[in-house]
Amino acid sequence: MMTEKQMTKLLENEPLERYTSWRVGGKADRLYVPTDLEDLAEILTGISPDEPIYFIGLGSNLLVRDGGVRGTVIVMHQALKALRMDGAYLYAEAGVTCGKVARFGSANSKTGAEFLAGIPGTVGGALAMNAGCYGSETWDVVHQVLTIDRFGQTHVRNKGEFTTSYRNVVMPVPEEWFVGAWFALPAGSPEETARKIKDLLATRLASQPLNFPSGGSTFRNPKGDYAARLIEASGLKGYQIGGAQVSPKHANFIVNVGGCTALDIELLIRHMKAEVLEQQGVTLQQEVKVIGDYA
């Protein structure tokens, strides 16, 4: 049973295109933006045990189908924004952007988190998919994490309780979600780390199509190769279905060039996989998570 306090923070039939980086997607039955961790725990206790729950951050690497999402979507960005040094560790809540963590680490004379500046998402999403770039991954620098279950109970879990691999994290317990993490970062020069962040962002700007809405990298890189190279070698740069286009700037990005639907993107993903398999003999593994119903 929802309390009056919870209901005032709940949006019904909310279009999810506003919360995804592709700017597409149908409506969520219910959408909730918690004000803090205590508030999140409260709303979780009011959700029926059999109702689907989805957590999203900035909505990157996420495709919401045009028919929308049945259940409750909880948006962590604009909430859970605590960021501080906790003894020797950098602590960040799940709603903090990865770029902010990188800059905070630099400002506090810590190194090892610079790569996070190149990840267009939040800490929660980076933890959930072991996001990474330029040779580093999120779980390389994790010490402990804070999770919450659907009954609103929090748990401090050690890194060793999780099985992590390239763009994949196996939770030790189902239906727990990341709400924070402690990062173990060695001491570093603020000037040097700031320079690394600046160089990384310049590389990202030069190589990625940041002038169009996109979902980030569409496919995982196969071992010893790059998804973008395989897609480009298959003649797919610039290929378009509806308003979804394989970026002419970076072949592993699908961009929304206008009038795009989630179905356009999903059909383009399927086409890219089929063409790369036929022409290159490689089965691409999708990095983008797809949720929701078809229209």
**Catalytic residue ranges:** 167, 217, 287
Beta bridge pairs of residue 291:
64
**Distance of alpha carbon 12 from the chain centroid:** 23
Classify burial at 218, counting beta carbons within 10 Å of its beta carbon; exposed 0-12, middle 13-18, buried 19 or more.
buried
CA distance 72 to 261: 22
For 160-201, give the secondary structure using H, E and C: HHCEEECCEEECCCCCEEEEEEEECCCECCHHHHHHHHHHHH
Residue whose tokens read 């060695």? 186
B/e letters for 144-179, b = 16+ CB within 10 Å, e = fewer, are bbbbbebebeeeebeeeebebeebebeeeeeebbbb
Residue 84 neighbours by CB distance under 10 Å = 11
Give the residue ranges of DSSP H helices in the chain.
4-7, 37-45, 98-107, 123-129, 190-207, 227-233, 262-280
CA distance 127 to 138: 6
Task: Look up residue 231 and give its two tokens.
Answer: 């897609």
